[in-house]
Amino acid sequence: MSEQSERMPEELGSPLLGVEARLRDITPAILYADSWINPNVRNLTKLFNHLRTMYRILYGYLPRQVISDMPQPGINRHQWEEGTLMFTDLTGFTPLLEGNSKHGKEGAQSLLEILNGYFSEMLVIVSKSGGNLLEFTGDALLVQFPTDRQGRDTSRAVRAGLRMQRAMAKYAKIETEFGDYSLGMRIGLHVGRFLIADIGTPHRMEHVLLGNCVLRTKLAEGNGKPGYVCLTDEAKERVMDEFHFLSKHKKGYSLVKDDLSEEELGDYDILPPRTRMASMVLFDTSREGLITAITDSVEKVEPLASFIPRPLLHMLVENAAARGLPPDFPDASVLFVNLLGVPDNLSDFTEAERDEIVSEFSRVVSLVNAEIESAGGVMKKVTYHHAGPDIMAFFGVPDAHTNDTLRAVTAAYQIKDNISRLKPLKLGSTDIQMEAHIGLTQGRVFSAEIGESQGRREYNIMGNTVNTAARLMDHAQANEILVSEEVYDDLVAENFEAEKLEAVTLKGRSVPLDLYLIGRKKR
């Protein structure tokens, strides 16, 4: 045996050899190179401090259910959660966004300050009321108030909603240098059980919520009114002796009357124990101690990083020292995929059958993400739509290409083809057949890191372009791709088959919109 082959790996190269491959995606390029080429105490200390910063950033980006039980990337897991769910949505946001979009980066910064001021205030109220933020959905929030021994979760949720609506008073008239605007908020509550699941591959994991309870909560918000807290009949039943309600509203829903004094409502509730961020303290500053600390840090950071889309993770890694991402109004192609066929009534299935359903859903979502990434796009997240799970993806943000619309259409068609070829999942006498409803448009969006600067936040895009893509998805039939005229114009030269449909007035649009059904690319 040669002398070189008998030498240990660290003698052949950097002492980081054991974790080098795991550092590639979570370390800035310059710091990675410096640490590998010259692994002295100074560079290794910089590397450890960066990993500690990344852990704090990712901690703010992910729901507490993910943090409290460290995931294993590539391993599907799911569990039931119980309690009261709250869904909120802003009204009046589109005029505010469009008014600021005319003023470039100054308008983007002004909009971000208003939006983050709103989110920060609402999330403080949620936290003080014992709620956990499950997900951002554009300008909306989905919050869980976990069940407790006293059964007070619905009461805490109602009281939190009333505090949030009172806090909205300052947003009734927003004076900016670009004009005056007004924001309102609808809040919906429902109570019950829902399934949370971590799904995906080691390359890309996703935290999803499934089940009828999530759907009913979003319907409660949609049936509510700005300024009020809307409860389903099941939620009302639990607190009807504690609060008063308006005498008339829509069947199945009730609005809470805010007739409590400031003293009666208070500022907070007795809080349950909170999940604390694990500390990353450097005790041994020797070269060997730093290598051990870096290895331990990778064990904490890497699993969380798998929940962030790779282009966004790269952006967070390279901007970690700045502790923030600049807002902007870029052009983007926005794709929505609604996956129908996933059962709402998951409690009707056995544990083994739920395992199969979650595994199949994980496989489909992973394939969708693969098509989006291979086309240069970002699969942002999987949320629960009124008609089932939906997936939002975008192209052109944060990395722009000259042919982002073509890339988006190519991904959409591959997704449609893949899902249309799926065989039914047979569970006893039940056949589960997934289908895709796809909408796509392009235009200007607002991109920013929204939320609390030192707390829960996420990078997302918003605006009328996003809303239109979602409406196109709603209008699409099974395994159809509907696109707007802007997308169609970009694809004429690419020889895609396209059928012009009758113009329709989509929700939130005042004028009819020409729609096009996209088929295969002509040979």
Question: Which residue segments constitute the domains of the chain, with CATH numbers given?
Answer: 9-63+282-307 (no CATH), 70-265 (3.30.70.1230), 322-521 (3.30.70.1230)
Q: What is the pLDDT at residue 272?
A: 56
Give the confidence band of 277 by pLDDT, cuts at 50, 70, 90.
Answer: low
Residue 56, pLDDT above cutoff 80: yes
**Whole-number Å distance between alpha carbons of 223 and 240:** 19
What is the pLDDT confidence band of residue 14, given thresholds at 50, 70 and 90?
confident
Q: What's the pTM value of the predicted model, to 2 decimals?
A: 0.90
pLDDT band at 442 (very low <50, low <70, confident <90, very high): very high
Weakest-pLDDT range from 158-172, 298-312, 503-517: 503-517
Of the candidates 191, 157, 483, the one whose C-alpha atom is nearest the C-alpha of residue 336 is 483
- Which residues touch 190 (CB under 8 Å, ≥6 apart)? 84, 85, 213, 216, 217, 220, 231, 232, 234, 235
Please give the pLDDT value at position 271. Answer: 63
209 to 78, 340, 342, 442, 462: CA distances (angstroms): 9, 15, 12, 28, 21
Where does 87-130 have alpha helices with state H? 93-101, 104-128
Q: What is residue 1's predicted lDDT score, i.e. its pLDDT?
A: 42
**Model confidence pLDDT, tens digit, residues 229-243:** 999 999 999 999 999
Q: How far apart are CA 176 and CA 350, in angstroms?
A: 55
Q: Are strands 425-427 and 388-395 parallel, antiparallel or unpaired?
A: unpaired
Q: What is the pLDDT of residues 473-514, one digit of tens each?
A: 999 999 999 999 989 888 876 677 888 888 888 776 778 888
Q: From CA 44, how far away is CA 431, in angstroms rounded?
A: 55
State which amino acid sits at residue 225.
K
d(CA 438, CA 477): 8
Here the tokens at position 86 are: 């709250």
Q: What is the largest CA-CA distance in the chain?
A: 89
At 276, the pLDDT band (50, 70, 90 cuts) reads: low
Coil, strand, or helix at residue 521?
strand
Q: Provide the pLDDT confidence category of residue 7 given band limits of 50, 70 and 90.
A: very low
Is the Cβ–Cβ distance between 319 and 313 less than 8 Å?
A: no
User: Is residue 487 classed exposed, middle or buried when 0-12, 13-18 and 19+ CB atoms within 10 A define those classes?
Assistant: buried
pLDDT of residue 138: 83
Residue 9 pLDDT: 42
- Whether the pLDDT of residue 2 is over 70: the answer is no
Determine the Cα–Cα distance for residues 355 and 147; give it in Å rounded to an integer: 24
Q: Which pLDDT band holds residue 275 (cuts at 50, 70, 90)?
A: low
* CA gap 46, 65 in Å, rounded: 30
Mean pLDDT of 70-88: 93
Residue 274 confidence (pLDDT) above 70 = no
Q: Annotate 212-243 with b (16+ C-beta within 10 A) or e (fewer).
A: bbbbbbbbbbebbbbbbbbbbebbbebbeeeb
pLDDT at 427 over 90: no
Listed range (29-43, 185-199, 259-273) with the worst mean pLDDT: 259-273
- What is the CB neighbour count within 10 angstroms for residue 311? 17
For the record, the structure tokens of 231 come out as: 């409860």
Six token digits for residue 279: 């500390």
> What token pair was written down for 83?
């309690």
φ/ψ of 204, rounded to 5, equals -150, 110
**∠ at Cα 400 (462, 92), nearest 5°?**
10
Instruction: Please give the helix or strand (H or E) that residue 133 lies within, else none.
Output: strand 132-137
Range 447-454 average pLDDT: 89
Counted residue by residue, the chain has a size of 523
User: Which of 196, 212, 190 is CA-nearest to residue 345?
Assistant: 212
Residue 189 · residue 253 · CB < 8 Å: no
Task: Tell me: pLDDT of 11 over 70.
Answer: no
Segment 106-112 shows an average pLDDT of 94
Name the least confident of 115-129, 348-362, 421-435, 470-484.
421-435
| CA gap 308, 77 in Å, rounded | 18
pLDDT band for position 273 (cuts 50, 70, 90): low
How far, in Å, CA of 14 to CA of 35, rounded? 9
